[in-house]
Structures are given as C-alpha cells and as structure tokens.
Amino acid sequence: MAQAQGSKGIVSIQYEESFGVSAAAPNMTKVYFDSEGFKASRNLVASTIITGSRNSAIPLLGNIDVQGSLFTELGSNLGMLLHGACGTVKSTLLAGTETLSSPGGALTGATGVVSGNTLVLTLASGTAHGYVVGDMVTLGATSGVGSSGDLAAYRFPVIAVGVWATGSGTVTLRFGAGFTGAVTVVFGNIKKVVPNAAPTYTHEFKSGGILPSFAVEKGFTDLPQYFTYNGCRVGKMSLNVAMEGAQKLSFDFTGKKETLATTPVDTTITDLLKKSFVGGDLLAAGIMVGGSVLATITKCDVSLDNSLDTSIYCLGGGGTRAEITSGSVKVTGTVECLFDSITLYNIAVAGTESSIKLQFKKGLGDGTVDNEFLEVLIPELMFKQETPKISGDKGIMVTLAFESYASDFTTQLQITLKNSQLAI
C-alpha cells in the first residue's frame, strides 16, 4: 500500500443538527487549509492492582479527547468558520434579486419562541415540506422576537429537518444573536431563498453568541480513509494581519468523538473555491485606531478565546464528552507600529478607551465575485503600557498589547463580510 500524501488530504465541515449528531442529509463544505491537527486521543490509566510479581497490571482505557486545529488564510469564503468562532451571524440581501419558493408543502404559520440558549426556531408542516439542511429561508413579515421587529430582511439557515411517518415534518432554523423571544410567523410567508441575477449579501458576525457545533471530516483520499469528528466547537480563533501576502488565520476546536470510514460522508461536497485577502487589500483609509486613521501600523494580531469548558464527561457516556460549553469571551492582541510619536503610548498610559478597525477590499468591494469586502472591528479596548526598547541602530518600533471588553457595545469583536454567497 502506498504512503498517504498530504497534498491529497481534504477537510470538510458541516453544521450539526444537535451537539454530537451529524445532519441526516450530508451537505459538507470544503475547507482550504495550510495544515490541520484534528485527532482523537485516549489516556491509558495505570492500574495500581498488585499482581503477585513486580510486573505491572494491564492499563485501563481513559476518556476520549478530541482536539483539532485548522491553519488557513483570511478569505471571503470562510463564513461558516467565522460563525463558529463568533457564535452569531445575521445575513441580509445587499443587492440583486432572489426567487422565493416553497419546495414542497407550505410550512404552516407558527408562534414559537427563539431561545436565548439555543437561538433556534422549529416550524411545523402538515405535508412533506421539501426543505433540506443547508437551505436558506426567509420568514417574510413577522412580529415579535424582542426588539428585532420584522425579520423579513434576514436569511436563516436550515440546520435540521424532521419527517414523520404521515409525511408531515419540521424545519429548524438557526437565528443570530439579538433574536430572542416569541415570534409569530405569518402563514404562507415562509419561503426558500434561491439567488438569481447575481445577488450580493452582507454577513455580520459578532462574538459572544451561542456557538454552533460542527461535524468535521478529514480524508486521506489516496488510501482511502476518512475520519469524522462530531461535536466540534471553536475554542479559539487567531488572525495575523501583515503588510504582505496571506493574512494567516487559525481555529482551534474541541470535539466529542471520532468515527472512521473508507468512504466520505458526502461524495459531492460544496467547493466555494479559495478567495484569500492579502496585505495589499488593506485599505489605507480603513486602518483605524480610536476612530482615526493610523498609517504607521506594520502588523496587528487578534485573538478570540471562547473559554470552552472541556471537562464535561458523564457516567455512562462511553468516555466521550457530554457537552462543551463556553465561558466569557476574551479578545486580545497586539499592534506594532513605527515609533514616530507618543500619541498611542499616551493612550496606553492614561488607560483611555480605544478601538481598532481593519478593512480589506478587493476591486470595488461591493460583494460581487472578485469584489469582496471584509471588516474587522474591535469597538472597545484598552492598550497595555509598554515602553519602546532600543534594540539596535535601526528604526524604533512600538508594540502595544490590548484587551477588549463590552461596555457601550454588545460585542467585543465584529466581522462584516460582503460577498456573493447566500449560505453561511
């Protein structure tokens, strides 16, 4: 048997219906990556049993630990991963037209409650509804959902479907942060969204939302062997913004279990193609600190930590995690710039609130193909005082660490993406 080659490896990802449970209808999306680190490991617990000799007793099997990492490049086709890190996304039509249709039997009007813990809404159908996981839905004119009001402008992903023996069934939609409370859906207004006439969309990601779980599959296609990891949640995301070339982006996952197979979960995975932003796509007028353009930044690193609790194992759970919950969001990073004044340093010394905005634009930046736009915004932060060092005879740089918080804003990290993709 020939040795597996890394160049023939593949990684794909899909939202789960519920934690640790793959969607009944596979709809995997290909992820372009530099390297990955998904693996399952299991401790061997030493036994203290005395065997009557100096030889050790056979070790015992411990719990299963699933961890994973993806190293890639910041791009316009990574919406699912950004959602996984931030926990919430709101998608709206930016320009163009769409076709709204009922693929099967019409979903009945419903009065439901969008839970603040799950951010999902389940709708019923009296006949076979025809929706599949991955479809995008508009609810049309609605009422309720806290202060959000009419939801007609938003597009929601179908994350689960249920079909009963009678032919009727359910459709479960995922909402974004801020959509919490009772919602009344008007009968006949629930439609599947089908893009046409080259529409563009705005996707707004905010940290602090309910983290979705994923099924992640990595395939050694030349063996063939496929490893599927269920219950994967994003614990950390790191972005390294540089002057030149790719903008390095990484995600760290914790998961529930691993399953092996000789065939892929989905034989026709969705390929959104590789569309990376580079240093040259940074807008000079879009690099801001404290609301003012700062033209002397040489690099910026941003890290988001969801503070996952990875210790939840239950009796009778077969050694796999029962759940992976998230704690307080931590957004930190560093900014390096030319030391040509003490303005930024004085902000750190005084403990003055500041912010960071970084904007990337390809072409027109209107969201059409090859004209994508992405903005990273940290609305509230404080810089840590750190006096610049003289480490040689060349120009002096100043590097300041920062920590984000949420006081006047509802999020610590906001990413706005404009592209031509409806589904996230």
pLDDT tens digits in sequence order for the chain, 424 residues long: 789 999 999 999 999 888 999 988 888 999 999 999 999 999 999 999 999 999 999 999 999 999 999 999 999 999 999 999 999 888 889 999 888 887 765 565 555 666 666 677 777 766 677 787 778 888 776 555 543 445 677 888 887 777 654 556 777 777 766 666 666 666 567 788 888 878 999 999 999 988 989 999 999 999 999 999 999 999 999 999 999 999 999 999 999 999 999 999 999 999 999 999 999 999 999 999 999 999 999 999 999 999 999 999 999 999 999 999 999 999 999 999 999 989 889 999 999 999 999 999 999 999 999 999 999 999 999 999 999 999 999 999 999 999 999 988 889 999 999 999 988 8
In order of 14, 27, 161, 269, 352, the CA distances from 264 in angstroms are 13, 11, 22, 9, 53
User: Is residue 279, in this structure, part of any structural domain at all?
Assistant: yes
**Residue 51, domain member (yes or no):** no
* Cα–Cα dist 237/214, whole Å: 15
Query: 381 in helix, strand or coil?
Result: strand
Query: Rounded distance, CA 108 to CA 306, Å?
Result: 37
In this prediction, residue 163 carries a pLDDT of: 62
Same domain, 402 and 269: yes
Domain that holds residue 111: 93-200
**Which residue, 168, 200, 232, sits at the end of a domain?**
200
Same domain, 218 and 175: no
Q: Strand, helix or coil at 213?
A: coil
User: What 3-state class would DSSP assign to 9?
Assistant: strand
290 and 173 within one domain? no
Residues 341, 343, 345, 350, Cα dihedral to 10°: 150
Confidence (pLDDT) at 148 = 45
Whole-model pTM over 0.75: yes
Instruction: Give residue 165's pLDDT.
Output: 46
Domain boundary among 149, 167, 200: 200
Residues 119 and 143 in one domain: yes
CA distances (Å), origin 143, targets 88, 140, 150, 187:
21, 10, 6, 12
pLDDT of 306 reads: 98
Please choose, from the candidates 300, 306, 313, 200, the residue with its C-alpha nearest in 3D space to the C-alpha of residue 256.
313
Distances in Å between the alpha carbon of 49 and those of 43, 44, 55, 122, 319? 18, 15, 10, 52, 22
* Other CB atoms within 10 A of residue 407 CB: 8
Q: Are 251 and 161 found together in one domain?
A: no
Look at the chain and report how many structural domains it folds into. 2
The CA distance from 156 to 161, in Å, is 14
- Say if residue 339 is in the same domain as residue 222: yes
Contacts of 407 (CB under 8 A, 6+ apart): 380
Q: What is the largest CA-CA distance in the chain?
A: 80
* Together in a domain, 284 and 384: yes
* 228 & 286 share domain: yes
pLDDT at 234: 98
